[in-house]
Amino acid sequence: MLEIRKHYDLGSLIIIAITFILFMSAPFTKGFIHDILLEAAVFLVSIKLVIMAYKNVDATHSLHQKLDEMYKKIEAIESHQSRDGHDNT
């Protein structure tokens, strides 16, 4: 269980569990209830995809910020070395 928690947060696990329950209970119902269960499960899958896309954008933004900071520090080191005459090229 700890291995799963490393990759998914609590909200994701809840959405996955509810979706699983809805999909598994749909074949045992008929008519309108069957259709509602399937539609609700598909809707939850869509919500999960939106959440994953948001987290992906957030993680990408964080990585870009860290890379920008590293780039600025490397530029500062290179400019400091070139001013001191320690050009290693």
Q: Which pLDDT tens digit goes with each residue over 39-76?
A: 999 999 999 898 889 889 989 999 999 999 999 999 99
The mean pLDDT of 27-39, rounded to a whole number, is 90
Closest CA relative to residue 8, chosen from 69, 55, 72, 70: 55
Closest CA relative to residue 1, chosen from 15, 11, 13: 13
Give the domain ranges of the chain.
Answer: 2-84
Closest CA relative to residue 48, chosen from 14, 22, 7: 14
Tokens representing residue 71 in the block: 């780039």
Q: What is the Cβ-side half-sphere exposure of residue 42, based on CA atoms within 13 angstroms?
A: 7
The mean pLDDT of 20-47, rounded to a whole number, is 90
Tell me: pLDDT of 3 over 90: no
Q: Whole-model pTM?
A: 0.62
**Residue in this structure with the two tokens 């005459």, named with its chain if needed:** 85
